Amino acid sequence: MTGSRLPLPRAAALASPWSTPGLVVLAILITFAVTAGPIALAGANPLEAYAEFLVVPLTSRFSLLEVLVAATPIMLTGAAVALAFRGGYWNIGAEGQLLVGAIAAAAIGQVAGLPQLVAVPLMIAGGAFGGALWALGPAVLRVRFGIDEVVTTLLLNPVALLLVNALLHGPWRDPVSGFPESPRIVETAEFPQLLDRSRLHLGFLVAVLVVVAVGYVISRTPAGLRLRAVGLSPHGSRFAGIDVSRTLLVTALVSGAIAGIAGVSEVAGIQYRLTSGISPGYGYTGIVVATLGTLTMPGVGLAALFLGDLAVGASSAGRALGIPSQLGAVVQGTLLLTTIALLAVRRHRAVGAAIAPEAAGEVAESVASDLAVGSADVDDVVPDDELSGRDPDGRRA
């Protein structure tokens, strides 16, 4: 393979419908075909409904900015889920981590006398700490006792919601209105608006910076290389001398912190107080974003914008066509299932090709090229003296 670092099988895959871009487009087309039936039963033309869902929100300044507002929290939760999944930690608890981050933000935001330059970073840090703290328990159970984090993170989501409701019906009930909502945060704790006459706030910029930072760490740093290695093969990573437990723990805490920042964004940028409806399921939507974005940060950003467009369009379609706005959630759920199904099919095809005798030469050539490229990356981040002095089990002598 001289003259190019791209193996022929991989170059051909880029043009295949089973490549990542092709798979996402195929998932969207299948979703639209499947959901055309429910839309027609609701009394609307599916083509008109899809135009309302996807095109109309992009035709005016107000609705376009609303798309960015809707994309902000799910971009953060999508980044949190994608980061965890890339590291082999199946965090299904972004919803609960978001709620605890919102609680922390509402508590800090009620402290009067802090200048904005102090209050805003303090709220972001507090929300990140709250989300990480909520993620700590399942992470410790996973790395110390091998308890499945899918179950523990998922079960903590309703616990976080109960904690929110306990505060709102107890000590944080608004003393003026009597409604179950916390007092409004002080003005200096509110996120500044990025554009006049819009709801687009600092949280969107924070979400973009988080996605860029996480993408850089995953793809360009030694920590990211260790994270990807653990996600691909924990046993192989342990043999190579990587502290798998520590990597999983850090990944889980960072994932929870990012989800907690999503809660801060809603409190400080939109609601200005804690309410029981602070999240309509942003943490679960983050799983859709991460899956549709194929666990890459550019993909997460694009998927969040797509689903934000769909959310705004679903509301406008409900008014324009007289169909339930919940059809947007139907499309979103169908898209998740379709994407997962296509990913499973692609994996099955890849395994079948790998074991086919006629494909053995191409697979070997591709793997050899990947190892040649990957070895240079490993040498860049793992000094030779760290590779020496280990026994066959990967422990230091």
When computed from its CA atoms, the radius of gyration of the chain, rounded to whole angstroms, is: 23
Cβ count near 18 (within 10 Å): 14
305 Cβ contact partners less than 8 Å away, ≥ 6 residues apart = 67, 68, 71, 75
Q: Is 331 left (phi over 0), alpha (psi -120 to 50) or beta?
A: alpha
| 378-383 LR contacts (CB < 8 Å, sep 24+) | 378/225, 381/221, 381/222, 381/225, 382/222
Other residues' Cβ atoms within 10 Å of the Cβ of residue 28: 17
Amino acid type, 176: V
**25 closest CA partner among 296, 306, 317:** 306
Q: Check residue 355 and give its pLDDT.
A: 56
Give the Cα separation of 191 and 213 in Å (integer).
Answer: 21
Predicted pLDDT of residue 88: 94
CA distance 133 to 149: 15
* Burial degree of 112 (CB within 10 A; 0-12, 13-18, 19+): exposed
The span from the CA of 267 to the CA of 178, in Å, is 19
Structural contact between residues 106 and 132, judged by C-beta atoms closer than 8 angstroms? no
DSSP string across 119-167: HHHHHHHHHHHHHHHHHHHHHHHHHHH---HHHHHHHHHHHHHHHHHHH
Residues with Cβ within 8 Å of residue 149, at least 6 apart in sequence: 89, 90, 91, 92, 138, 139, 141, 142, 252
Distance CA 350, CA 347 (A): 5
Mean pLDDT by 10 residues, the chain (397 residues): 42 52 84 90 87 89 94 97 96 97 96 91 97 98 94 96 95 85 93 93 97 96 95 92 95 98 97 93 92 92 94 84 82 85 78 53 43 41 40 38
Instruction: Please give the pLDDT value at position 361.
Output: 46
